[in-house]
Amino acid sequence: MPDTLTTPDAGTTEATTAPLELSLQGALNLALDEILAENPKALVLGEDVGTLGGVFRVTSGLAAKHGSERVFDTPLAESGILGMSIGLAMAGFHPIPEVQFDGFAYPAVNQIVCQLARMNYRSRGTLPMPVTLRVPSFGGIRAPEHHGESLEALFAHVPGLKVVSPSDPQQGYSLLRAAARMADPVIFMEPKSRYWQKGQVTPEGGAPSSKLSGARIARPGRHLTLVAWGAMVARCLQVAELAAEDGIDVEVLDLRWLKPIDGDALAASVGKTRRAVVVHEAPRTSGLGAEVAQVITERCFGTLKAPVERVTGFDVPYPSGDLEDEYIPNIDRILFGIQRVLEYKRG
Amino acid sequence: MQTSGQSTTAPGRGALANAPREPLPQLPVVDPVTPGELVELYRLMTAVRHLDRAAISWQRQGIIPAYAPELGQEAAQVGSALAVDTRRDFVFPTYRELGVARACGVDMVEYMATHKATWHGGLWDPAAAHVAPIQAVVAGSVLHAVGWAHGQTLEARGELPEDGYNVAITYLGDGASSQGDVHEAMNFAAVFKAPVVFFVQNNGWAISVPTEKQVAGGSVSARGAGYGIPALKVDGNDPAAVLTATRRAVAHARAGHGPVLVEAMTYRRGPHATSDDPGRYRTLEEERADAGADPIGRLRERILAEGAADTAALDAAEAAAAAEAEQVREGVLALGPRPGAEMFDLVFQETTDELERQKANWQEETESRKESEDA
Ligand SMILES: Cc1ncc(C[n+]2csc(CCOP(=O)(O)OP(=O)(O)O)c2C)c(N)n1
Ligand SMILES: [Mg+2]
């Protein structure tokens, strides 16, 4: 997959259909509906995804429309869901399993890491794994324990997986459509705190987009690049507005693909702004921000005006709702990060 | 059952507490194993025995780094494998299924490639052979079999095809039966009525741990009842019994009646693997007592007693097996390393720029290392 494409606008497809006003949840639902209609081998499976339509209603109505054989509830066992999906892929299907919440991907890690990610390799390409694993991800909804985890670094570290996270309804729609066309396993991390945020969505109308790989510029700017994904993109856009009031022109780069990382887009943006701050919800140590910082450093070392800064969650278990606003990078912490980079002095 | 004080005409789901369990379905009866099949079993088991023995000596000679012998499990493996039709069914082996792979027609050099450290999983084409790659995670592919089997049901759109469903057979050991995935797999299979056969080779040991310390209740097959899965426990050293039991299981699944569990009681006569030292956990006397009669010797006696073949025919099978092992040895010796580029090229169907960069870098550095070595 080429990782060179950076689209300046959120729209990723030629508009063959009128734009719709949809929430992220609605956009994902539309994408799944179209995927099921278009690909007779596509299946949706997981806990409560059938009659209920998923605890976030992302699969709402799909079983009724496409049949309870193609959109089906499984017993409550994540390893089973993933292991079964692997077998279904071996039988020629394109399973789109859902793990109900990020923290419950852990019981399936053996099947994801040791099986799903390796079957293509082990079988020397004869048993491809077109499996799109949807994981409602990240925090911000005052949820119980294990419902606010950010697993991107874990998945991105595993050879054989691709990882993507949409930031808004259009991205959710388009990236899910793109992921479900891929012949490789994709971990699709949905920012659950953004499920109900509305936005304009231009459906593909049968014309698949080719511009869905790589990052995108969510807001152009000249002085500094904020790199983010998932729910942090919207927050960084807010920060950029506030910074603009102080005359700081912030570029926001929506990384989208967390593996493969779009090094060219990072180099193009930071090559221009010469300063970068990476923002993520996951704990800092060995978080994906370190990888992003290293890619930027390799590509832009000569032009960087300051070390790449990270504004992240802390190295603590994800806290209870009362403290999550302290844990998730908030506007002030991101502004402090920007300030540190702008005020950095060598030596 | 205790009910709440209120008397009610509709006791709800509480009333189900005393509902009778549905009886387990009866497995179909199949034709008895023919004399010709007995001889075919012998031919295959002998071939497997020779290859298995040969692999041990190849390891001792430094031709392959390691091997997990199936010695003593020939009847369980060949007998069960002959019950499936790999033109339509799909086989999910573990790391000890030389006999299964041989009986399913997998190329033995391509099979041994995994033990030669050529390629994890083996070199054969599993999609074409309908034999999945060698699985090194204990119980790793049991769920895959359930998924594949459910795929057959979906493919048929709920209409039982005239020739029945294609069936998955998944192999697992007594040790593997402890894995949570096996519970998930059996429960899923029963819930979805998937056409899958769980074939357990209870060979008495999981490395150093005996079945008594592994399997609560002493029987894996007894667990079938809890899932509503019919189960058969069979003398795993009697190939005809294994073939018959597995045929019944496959026929049941094929007919759309759902999963079956078969537990073949056998014995791991050799070490766990070439690196193992069984003397640390069992004595030779115990081995001799527990192993019982050699399954190949038993079959030979039966064939001769029933007149299915004469000594000359069986000796000829022996000679053919020896020749085959020698041929495979040559193939294994000739197996060179795979091109290093495959490390990168086989990760994805659609590779990534980053992986291409790593490959290019590796190639460059390899070239320059070679150049400096040549200089
Ligand atoms: C998940 C997992 N844990 C541990 C191991 C290491 N291991 C390999 S074989 C084995 C014993 C398996 O016993 P059993 O399932 O009875 O099969 P057998 O070796 O007897 O054929 C163990 C512990 C492994 N391969 N996978
Ligand atoms: Mg065992």
Which residues are within 5 Å of ligand 2 (an ion), measured at CB?
B 173-175, 203, 206
B287 at the A interface (CB within 8 A)? no
On chain B, the residues whose CB falls within 8 A of the CB of A70 are 154
Q: Give the nearest chain B residue to A76 (CA atoms).
A: B184
Contact call for A88 and B352, based on CB within 8 A:
no
Predicted local distance difference test score (pLDDT) of residue A13: 44
Predicted local distance difference test score (pLDDT) of residue A212: 74
Checking if the pLDDT of A197 tops 60, the result is: yes
* Amino acid at position A74, single letter: T
Question: Would you state the CATH architecture of domain A216-342?
Answer: 3-Layer(aba) Sandwich (3.40)
More confident residue, B375 or A196: A196
Where do the DSSP E strands lie in chain A?
A: 20-23, 42-46, 71-73, 94-98, 132-137, 162-164, 186-191, 198-201, 216-219, 224-228, 250-254, 257-259, 276-283, 309-313
Checking if the pLDDT of A245 tops 70, the result is: yes
Question: Does the domain spanning A20-212 belong to CATH 3.30.420.40?
Answer: no
Band the pLDDT of A206: cuts 50, 70, 90. low
Predicted local distance difference test score (pLDDT) of residue A209: 62
Mean pLDDT of B190-216: 97
pLDDT in tens, A67-111: 999 999 999 999 999 999 999 999 999 999 999 999 999 999 999
Tell me which residues have their CB closer than 6 angstroms to ligand 1.
B 96, 136-138, 173-176, 203, 205-207, 268, 272
Predicted local distance difference test score (pLDDT) of residue B125: 98
For ligand 2, the distance from its centroid to the CA atom of residue B66, given in whole angstroms, is: 18
What is d(CA B3, CA A288) in angstroms, rounded to the nearest whole number? Answer: 56
Q: Give the nearest chain B residue to A1 (CA atoms).
A: B352
pLDDT in tens, A107-145: 999 999 999 999 999 999 999 999 999 999 999 999 999
Give the number of other Cβ atoms within 10 Å of residue A7's Cβ.
19
Band the pLDDT of A7: cuts 50, 70, 90. very low
Sheet-wide strand order for A162-164: A71-73, A42-46, A94-98, A132-137, A186-191, A162-164, A257-259
Checking if the pLDDT of B2 tops 60, the result is: no
Most B CBs within 10 Å: which of A73, A78, A84, A131, as the mutation test of the B interface? A84
- Residues B281, B282, B298, B302: which is the catalytic one? B281
**Helix, coil or strand: residue A215:** coil
Return the residue whose CA atom lies nearest to atom 17 of ligand 1. Answer: B173
Band the pLDDT of A12: cuts 50, 70, 90. very low
Mean pLDDT of A190-198: 97
Residues contacting A163, CB < 8 A, separation 6+: A152, A155, A156, A186, A187, A189, A257, A258, A259
Checking if the pLDDT of A9 tops 50, the result is: no
Predicted local distance difference test score (pLDDT) of residue B321: 98
pLDDT in tens, B221-235: 999 999 999 999 999
Checking if the pLDDT of A244 tops 90, the result is: yes
Residue B272 catalytic?
Answer: yes
Q: What percent of chain B has pLDDT over 90?
A: 91
Do residues B260 and B267 make contact, with C-beta atoms less than 8 angstroms apart? no
Residues contacting A235, CB < 8 A, separation 6+: A228, A279, A329, A330, A331, A334
B256 at the A interface (CB within 8 A)? no
Q: Give the nearest chain B residue to A185 (CA atoms).
A: B348
Predicted local distance difference test score (pLDDT) of residue A169: 97
Contact call for A89 and B147, based on CB within 8 A:
yes
Name the nearest CA neighbour of B121 among B144, B87, B154: B144
Band the pLDDT of A2: cuts 50, 70, 90. very low
pLDDT in tens, B38-50: 999 999 999 999 9
- Residues A147, A157, A223, A280: which is the catalytic one? A147
Chain B residues 98-127 with a CB less than 8 Å from chain A: 119-121, 123, 125-127
Band the pLDDT of A16: cuts 50, 70, 90. low
Predicted local distance difference test score (pLDDT) of residue B19: 80
Band the pLDDT of B10: cuts 50, 70, 90. low
Mean pLDDT of A2-18: 45
Pocket perturbation via mutation, ligand 1, pick of B120, B135, B138 by most ligand atoms within 8 A of CB: B138
More confident residue, B135 or B20: B135
A271 at the B interface (CB within 8 A)? no
pLDDT in tens, A266-281: 999 999 999 999 999 9
Identical fold for domains A20-212 and A216-342, yes or no, is: yes
Name the nearest CA neighbour of B126 among A111, A87, A126: A126
pLDDT in tens, B313-322: 999 999 999 9
What is d(CA B33, CA A284) in angstroms, rounded to the nearest whole number? Answer: 65
What is d(CA B179, CA A206) in angstroms, rounded to the nearest whole number? Answer: 45
Can you read off the two tokens belonging to residue A307?
């070390």
Residue A280 catalytic?
Answer: no
What is d(CA A278, CA A341) in angstroms, rounded to the nearest whole number? Answer: 11
Pocket perturbation via mutation, ligand 1, pick of B207, B265, B266, B267 by most ligand atoms within 8 A of CB: B207
| ipTM score above 0.95 | no
Domain ranges of chain A: 20-212, 216-342
